[in-house]
Amino acid sequence: MPARAIQPWGFTEMEDPLTERRAADRPARVLFALALFLAACTSSVPSIGGKSAVAPAPGTPYAPPRNIVPPEPDSGKARATLPPDIAPHDTSLALSEVVDVALRNNPQTALSWSQARTAAFQYGSARGTFFPAVSASASLGRSQTTTTTGFVQRTAFTPQVSLSYLLLDFGGRSGTIGAARENTIAVDLNYNATLQNVVLQSENAYFAYVSSRALVRAQQQTVAEADTNLIAAQVRHNSGVATIADVLQAQTVLAQAQLDLETDSGAVRTNHGNLATAMGLRADATFEVEMPSDTMSIGSASASADSLIVSALDNRPDLAAARVNIVRAQQDVRVARSNEFPAITAGASVGRNYSNLSNFTGNNYSVTLGLSIPIFNGLGLQYDLAAAKSRVDEERASTNLLRTQVSNQVVTSYVSLHTASARVRTADVLLASARQSEDVARGRYRAGVGTILDLLTAQTALASARAQQAQTRWTWATALAQLAHDVGVLGVHGEAPIPLTHDSTTGPK
């Protein structure tokens, strides 16, 4: 077979036309494949740390890559006890100390304080607009320019200092500063409100814990009495003067009393965790509190509800913050209105060029006076001003709403304190009556003239009266703290300076 001639450009004389087309289409196919690859990349889910940035399917948990989520700080040494600088571990805390720990440790106080600092720094930044802005810049360049006689290479270094200052903007700058100032005051007042909220939260948790402990002590007495009644029923049954039904009924009452004691003991542990949380500690923190005196002076608010409402409107920090927010919104109106007027600015700059060519070396300076006049922006400025005015009305309405809420809170807590005071007196009377009834029923039963049913009924009434007497005093203390909070006078040491009409001095009889 004769050899095929080779063409000068490198192809054989009998080249396959299909092969030629494939060779010509190869760049197109490469580009098409690259386009498909890029399209697939843009439609696929991106990855983070080598893993998909989203869960693989609905209902499937997302597993973050290792070492992506920051670890919990000091997770192995999380605080479960009081810090030594707050109180020794073997010391029981009084109410004032509980409040102090809460104010220092509760995250709400730290968050609110940080927000107040942020607002103060923003106010300082806004005041900076009263001063001119001065900036410095420098550039270093190397260039080559072609000319008719050849080319010229030039190295230039240009330092420059610039100054700009807003001369007049018809209230925009002062309005911005005023809004920042009012916002700082409002945030500070809200910080005060947060302090009162934390104090109330810690006091409520403290009284709930103390109340549950008092209830356990009362229930322990009930269990002891039920056990005594069971022994008496067994003695009478062994003597043949009582049936087995008496013993079974006494056993039932004892078991129920023990069950109630276990429930109350669980409530003590739960309330201890709630108190630790209110103090900003871990729920399993190890500490104890002092049991207050069983005797306290009980009374109702001596002032009328109307006078307390007036005091609340003057003292409540959150309401004061709401009134300040109205002024802040009015400052925003000044800013929005100033945008419709011209602004005058002044500027100056001075610099020097340093170059390897002496013709390009020298000083530079400029002085400018600028005037900016708004002409038309699609009615945006008009709507901005209308929105700012509407926000003033919004803040006024919000403040009026808060006023009605404050008055309702004061009346509610005022009535609650009055009711709690009456309940304390009634609980004292009920406990004394129930004790006498139980003593009579026990004596009649031992004398053989009373039934076990009469004794157990009297004992149940005594247990209920004892539990109510153990709780009503701390319910009254909680109501007093709530009223002081709602009036806005709850102190940072837990004091509740509400004048009282003392009805009685109560305590265990």
Are both 116 and 243 inside the same structural domain? yes
Domain contains 24: no
Are both 262 and 282 inside the same structural domain? yes
pLDDT confidence band for 132 (50 / 70 / 90) = very high
State which of 117-131, 237-251, 285-299 shows the largest mean pLDDT: 117-131
Report the C-alpha gap between 319 and 459 in whole angstroms: 51
Are both 237 and 284 inside the same structural domain? yes
Cα 5 vs. chain centroid, distance in angstroms?
A: 89
Q: Say what the pTM is.
A: 0.82
pLDDT at 285: 87
Exposure b/e, 78-115, CB count within 10 A at least 16 = b: eeeebeeebbeeeeebebebbbbbbbebbebbeebeee
Report the C-alpha gap between 480 and 287 in whole angstroms: 26
Report the C-alpha gap between 338 and 322 in whole angstroms: 25
Q: Does residue 415 surpass a pLDDT of 70?
A: yes
Q: Does residue 441 surpass a pLDDT of 50?
A: yes
pLDDT confidence band for 25 (50 / 70 / 90) = low
pLDDT digit string, tens, across residues 159-210: 999 999 999 999 999 999 999 999 999 999 999 999 999 999 999 999 999 9
CATH code of the domain containing 214: 1.20.1600.10
Are both 222 and 346 inside the same structural domain? no
Report the C-alpha gap between 373 and 361 in whole angstroms: 38
pLDDT at 393: 97
pLDDT at 68: 83
Length of the chain: 509
Q: Does residue 5 surpass a pLDDT of 50?
A: no
Domain contains 137: yes
CATH code of the domain containing 355: 2.20.200.10
Residue ranges making up the domain that contains 145: 133-168+341-373
Number of CB atoms found within 10 A of residue 246's CB? 23
Asked whether the beta carbons of 159 and 351 are under 8 A apart, the reply is yes
Are both 137 and 112 inside the same structural domain? no
